[in-house]
Structure 1
Amino acid sequence: MSSRRRSGKDGLDSPTGAMALRDFIRRLRYGASDACFALFPFVVERKREAAAAKEMRRRAAGKRDPAWRPPAPPVVPPKADGLGIVAFYSDLPSDTAARIEAARPQFVRHVQPVLPLLPLSASVEEEVALATAHGIDTFCFWLRADGELPAALRAILATPDLAIGIAIFFEGPLPAVRADVLDALADPRALRIDGRPMLGASGGGGDQWQAAAAARLGGPLFLVEPFAANADLSAGFSAAVQIPPRDLAPLPTPRRIESVSRAFVGPVDEFMFVADLAQHRARQATVPLFPGICAGHDSTPGQGADARIMVSPDLGDDYARWLTEVLAIARARPVAGASLVFINAWNDWLNGSHLLPDARYGHALLRATASTCAPYAGAIGARRPAAAPVTPRPVRTGSLASVVHGYYEDLLPGLIAGLDPAHLFVTTPPEKAEAVRAVLARAAPAARLRVVENRGRDVRPFLSLLPELEAEGYDLVLKVHTKRSPHQGKEGSDWLQRLSGPLLKLARSERLAPVFEAHPQMGLLGAAGHVLDGALYAGSAGNAAWMRRLAAELGTGAPLTSPYVAGTMFVARLGIFAPLRGASELLDLFDTDMGLKDGTLAHAFERFFGVLAAEAGLSVGEVAADGHVEPVAEVVNGSYAFARSTTEEELDRLRRLGAAR
């Protein structure tokens, strides 16, 4: 008799058992490594130093960090309407460049030195141009009590046409009144809150400063101080400013940290743990507070083996997630009529907190700042007149256009196979045009290729095609796109098939028109199990900000929490897009894609398509893998394999905050 394996939920054949075995082996390996480090420290140190040095040589030879982003000027200057973005500016010591270059990795996979891309000697004009192009309104200059005004501040004051706000923050308590500071605050570009110039310090007597300000400036100052949880404001101060990671205890990362040297004793924090705690404290603050965020933190250049270091798998994406939430907090809780967000910092190279581009992350943080500020920019009508509305052609009932966005050309044949090439529209960016054209020449020569800018992922190309589809009188449109989701791991590998398969099956069997004819109340159709609850799967605050803006621009009144089809693959009645008619300026709002996982205009439109169906008074239906159609989908309001609900995200945050305490 042949033997049989036992399998069950606790057996090694089960996912749980296999994970337990892998975890056990991993802990054994880590334990052995730690024991070797304790017994033979010099041998292990040399081995780890060699590994760290090898990685740095690879980077010096041109290897890019996975989180690196190239420069890409914002398509629309993201001047936030009603929001102010303030970046702290450090007056760097003369040996800063030498200390940056001398920094070395403190643990395996730690990257040091991180070199500036913009020379430290760059002119203030260059810095101001870079800052304002990415949504920074104001530089807040750190100032020592007995130090002279920073050179960059003096240069701005001497150049009246430099369009950047200025503010001053003393590094300690308010010192004796300084005439040069009051003169700087008299500049028309000085940041004013409630009509009063802002001045920051860590407490101290403000009476003398207020008296001097009344005499020199004609009115009082708006005094602010660094935020400390559970602390009242100092006498005479009007608000607090959050300056992460100040006032935040270390929040150790769960990642494996293998020190290069026993001398390294600094904390290694998880960036998003710090972000969660900072946001929590900002929401719970009992004093008037301007929330803040840090642009990373790695004080190795300044502190060496005592450095505090934050780690992140993708700093640009994590920074954007934090900033979009902080913008929402600032908008919801203005102080004296002002909604300000403080970023630590513009150029603090010694503490590794800087928006300025560097050799590791490139322009990631600048671009993330511009992207997250964009939904708060002024209304389209304030920039240019709306385009004349397009007169729709007579609709050919039941006619179907298939729109496929082909970014990954190797996935394209599987999507277009069996679709009517006479009514097939394929969009692709310029860099993919040649490869996609070759695929179409073999598989669908009659298909119409539209080469579009590489902005807005698959959404902007689809929106740009709507006037053409309407002009040709199509009734229905099938929208799918080549999709890879590496951040989803194994689950993401078959997401494309799950989202597109049932829709393509109906299209290839010519059943879509009869289905929509049989269900006149249905406006949008997605794959079963992928129609999500718009409130539970709202995503980041950036999505909500964009959707509020879209609703205001287009004049829609349907709930912004309407159900939507995940992944932006659906069949729709072309009529539901009527509110977009004549609003081609919306295409200008899409920025060059930098790979953010949430909070962009494309993510907002994914949800807003469901709002458009609701605005038309139509339902979102679903089609099962066997072709069965329900005109009103059973909305996913529990767990979903490809996204986390707001409930799950909040539970995770609470667990992390509990661990932090």
Structure 2
Amino acid sequence: MALPTRLTAISGLGFRSRAYAVHVYQKIATLTIGAIFVSPMGQKLRRRVARFSAPAPRPDVRTALVAHLFYLDLLPELLACRAMLPNGATLHLTVPTDRVEEAQRLVQDVSAVVMHPCDNRGRDIAPFVALLNTGAFDGYDAVLKLHTKRSPHLLDGEIRRKLLFMRLAGERNATWRTLAAFAQPDTGIVGWKACYREAPPYWMSNEPRVRAIAARMDAPKDAVRLGFFEGSMFWFRPAALARLRQLQLTVEDFEPEERQLDGTLHHALERAFTIAARSDGFTVRGLDGRVLT
């Protein structure tokens, strides 16, 4: 089939079919181009290129990193991300209670680390919401949310985590340029556009629950739409999640861990962060600072 005919055939697919085709393409790209990007060779090449980049101005924002440390062996990756933030950025670690002792040993020589023991429930979302509710982030202008995502059920799980870490805080100049978006008071959430999902199939089985959460947040009708960062890793302004905080969800609201792949409260909240931000007039942006509609 000639190329124009192929393009015509693709454009003629239904919306769901096009979304699936894009999803497959992204999987292939992650396993090929993405694998090269995060490889030692790719990292070495990026460091060389970074030397020729004009230095970004130091962002005038108070920053922190919050990360759910489930896999303790991935702590060095989190520390590498923290090193790309402005000096003095605090690292808030949520750690399952049965792993706290070992985690404390691993960070005993690391400065500005705050350990938050938590139940192994609600994946990274429940511990994050618990910290949000306490006001732990109130003193910051921009906070980076990460977690030690492995997704062993996915062929590209390890690569996806490494790509997200590198895109969100893998190089100082790029990180500081991202933080520049928070100089605009309406910036609420900033993430990697390649992980931004707005096609209807990405509701999966969560749409009724997300809409129920939006109703509890008294979200305006125009704010309740699909558009979220898959993997729940992004930069955020604490004030942008005020409506979510007002719900005062507790760990008991989350389902016990049973290796669920969809349909839980934490899957619904993954899709509700942006709704909370948009409800109070905050924008959701890509790493280049452009608003994602």
Measured at CA, do residues 526 and 471 of structure 1 come closer, stay the same or move farther in structure 2, by a change above 3 Å?
Answer: closer
Alpha-carbon spacing, 1:506–1:604, altered in 2? closer, same or farther (3 Å):
farther
In structure 2, the residue matched to 1:450 is 116
Conserved? CA contact 2:65–2:89, under 8 Å: no
- Identify the match of residue 217 of structure 2 among 539, 546, 554: 554
- C-alpha distance 471-608 of structure 1, shift in aligned 2 (>3 A): closer
Work out the CA distance in 1 between the residues paired with 2:125 and 2:182: 23
Say whether residues 1:605 and 2:272 are aligned partners: no
User: Is the Cα contact below 8 Å between 1:498 and 1:527 reproduced in 2?
Assistant: no
1:436 alignment partner, one of 81, 84, 103: 103
In the alignment, what sits opposite 2:71? Answer: 408
Structure number with greater Rg is 1
Please show how residues 117-196 of structure 1 align to structure 2 within 5 Å. none
Residue type of the alignment partner of 1:429: P
What secondary structure sits across from 1:515 in the alignment?
A: helix
Superposition deviation, residue 422 in structure 1? 5.0
- CA distance 1:582–1:617, shift in 2 (3 Å): closer
Structure with the bigger RCO (C-alpha within 8 Å, sep 6+) is: 2
Asked if 1:461 corresponds to 2:120, the answer is: no
Residues 201-245 of structure 1: per-residue CA shift (max 9 Å, x gap): xxxxxxxxxxxxxxxxxxxxxxxxxxxxxxxxxxxxxxxxxxxxx
Structure 1 pair 473–534 and aligned structure 2 pair: CA distance change class (3 A): farther
Measured at CA, do residues 586 and 557 of structure 1 come closer, stay the same or move farther in structure 2, by a change above 3 Å? Answer: farther
CA distance in 2, matches of 1:471, 1:488: 32
Cα distance in structure 2, aligned partners of 1:471 and 1:457: 19
| Residue in structure 1 matched with residue 37 of structure 2 by the alignment | none
- Matched residue, 2:32: none
**One-letter amino acid of the counterpart of residue 424, structure 1:** L
Distance 1:512 1:467, change over 3 A: farther
Alignment of 1:192-231 (within 5 A): none
Question: Is 2:144 the partner of 1:515?
Answer: no
The SS at the match of 2:170 is helix
1:512-563 Cα shifts (integer Å, max 9, x gaps): 442321x4443211113111105341112xx123212212322223443231
Aligned ranges 1:631-650 → 2 under 5 Å: 631-633=290-292
What residue identity is the alignment partner of 2:90? H
Instruction: Tell me whether 1:483 sits opposite 2:154 in the alignment.
Output: no
2:266 is paired with a residue whose SS is helix
Partner of 2:12 in structure 1?
none
Greater helix fraction, Structure 1 or Structure 2: 2
1:544 equivalent to 2:211? Answer no
The equivalent of 2:255 in structure 1 is 591
Residue 534 to residue 573, structure 1, CA distance change in 2 (3 Å): farther
For residues 511 and 425 of structure 1, the distance between their equivalents in structure 2, rounded to whole angstroms, comes to: 23
Aligned: 1:572 with 2:239: no
In structure 2, how many angstroms separate the alpha carbons of the residues matched to 1:434 and 1:630? 40
Structure 2 segments unaligned to the other structure (5+ residues): 1-59
> 1:451: how far off?
0.3
Letter in 2 for 1:619: T
**Residues 311-369 of structure 1, C-alpha deviation per residue, up to 9 Å, x if partnerless?**
xxxxxxxxxxxxxxxxxxxxxxxxxxxxxxxxxxxxxxxxxxxxxxxxxxxxxxxxxxx
Structure 1: how far apart are the matches of 2:211 and 2:265? 11
Q: What residue identity is the alignment partner of 1:526?
A: G
- Cα distance in 2 for partners of 1:520, 1:471 equals 17
Could you say what the CA RMSD is over the residues aligned between the two structures, in angstroms? Answer: 2.3
Whether 2:191 is the aligned partner of 1:526: answer: yes
Per-residue displacement from partner, 1:39-87 (whole Å, max 9, x unpaired)?
A: xxxxxxxxxxxxxxxxxxxxxxxxxxxxxxxxxxxxxxxxxxxxxxxxx
Partner residue in 2 for 1:630: 289
Structure 2 SS opposite 1:448: strand
Q: Identical aligned pairs, as a percentage?
A: 32
Q: Counterpart of 2:15?
A: none
> Under a length normalisation based on structure 1, what TM-score does the superposition of the two structures give?
0.33
Residue matched to 1:497:
162
Contiguous gaps of at least 5 residues in structure 1: 1-396, 624-628, 636-661
How many residues end up aligned between the 2 structures? Answer: 228
Taking the aligned partners of 2:177 and 2:237, their CA distance within structure 1 comes to: 15
2:122, 2:93 → 1: CA distance?
16
Relative distance call for 1:471 and 1:500 in structure 2 (3 A) is: closer
Distance 1:535 1:506, change over 3 A: farther
TM-score (norm 2): 0.70
Q: Does structure 2 conserve the Cα–Cα contact (< 8 Å) formed by 1:562 and 1:614?
A: no
